[in-house]
Chains A and B, each alone.
With several copies, the nearest count.
Chain A
Amino acid sequence: MLVHLLYFGALRETLGVEQEDIVIPANSKLTDLLALLCDRGGIWETLQDPNRGLRAAIDQEFAELDDVLKDGCEVALFPPVTGG
């Protein structure tokens, strides 16, 4: 299935990517998607660094690692937010 990925803030800068579409196995969870991205190696491995405090949203709602992705969904990955 197809997933539309967005990156924000320091993560966008570190990875050097703003957005991309990727194909992943059906019924993947957010954690599976992260594992796939980490497999790219190099800077992508920081996605699973627990000290980075990665946050994610699925279809514009904050998401947890166990959340299941749907075909065509929008997944955003970003560092802890700092608004206000």
Chain B
Amino acid sequence: MTAKPASLISSSLTTKALDPSRRGSKFQQNIDKTHSVGAIYSFVGLVRSIGQQGQPIDVLELEHYPGMTETKLRQIAGYAAQNWQLIGIDVCHRIGPMCPGDVIVHVIVGASHRQKAYEACGYVVEQLKSEIPLWKKEIGNAGASWVTP
């Protein structure tokens, strides 16, 4: 008998470009060493070229609350891992200025079966929208405006 291995849980912030392909590939390698993972769901959030008021966007700036943002990300990833018995979860959110087409956030969850992975991924994405101290500002020819929920 070996003990059930703990989930691989990681969450982070970055100011650099996010590469979902590279992250996804690493994630799969890291969590599926014993081939117990049956399902991986992932979410990629992208900067759109059209803003909330229909205006063209050149830059999206993401302001955050240093310290609290990291803590909340960790809490959400940890809760999801425990609640849905995930084998692994990786959440990375970009902050600072970015351009249309850039990846804002990447969530990956792996579980033995698809239903758990699906629910966990949806949960984390919804929490990112409502429970992480992040604020989006859209900047374009028409000026700058803060996004409202």
Q: Is A bound to B? A: yes
Interface size class of A (residues with CB under 8 A): 10 to 19
Q: Which residues of B contact A8 (CB under 8 A)?
A: 63, 65, 133, 135
B146 and A9 contact, CB distance less than 8 A? yes
Name the contact of A81 in the complex, choosing from B71, B105, B149 (C-beta under 8 A): B149
The yes or no answer to B132 lying at the interface (CB within 8 A) is yes
Asked if B68 is an interface residue, CB under 8 A from chain A, the answer is yes
How far, in angstroms, from A78 to B135 measured CA to CA in the complex? 9
A84–B45 touching, CB < 8 Å: yes
Q: B148 near A82 (CB under 8 angstroms)?
A: yes
Q: How would residues 1 to 44 of chain A score, 1 for a CB under 8 Å from any chain B CB and 0 otherwise?
A: 00000101110110000000000000000000000000000000
Which of A10, A13, A81 is B133 in contact with, Cβ under 8 Å?
A81
Minimum C-beta distance from B22 to chain A (A): 21
Q: Does B134 contact A (CB under 8 A)?
A: yes
| A13 to B62 alpha-carbon distance, docked (Å) | 14
Kindly report which residue of chain B lies nearest to residue A83, judged by CB atoms: B134
Known contacts A8-B133, A83-B62: A76-B149 contact under CB 8 Å: no
Q: Mark A37-69, 1 if CB is under 8 A from B, else 0.
A: 000000000000000010001001110000000
B70 nearest in chain A by CB position: A60
Q: Which residues of B contact A80 (CB under 8 A)?
A: 148-149
Whether B135 contacts A84 by the Cβ 8 Å rule is no
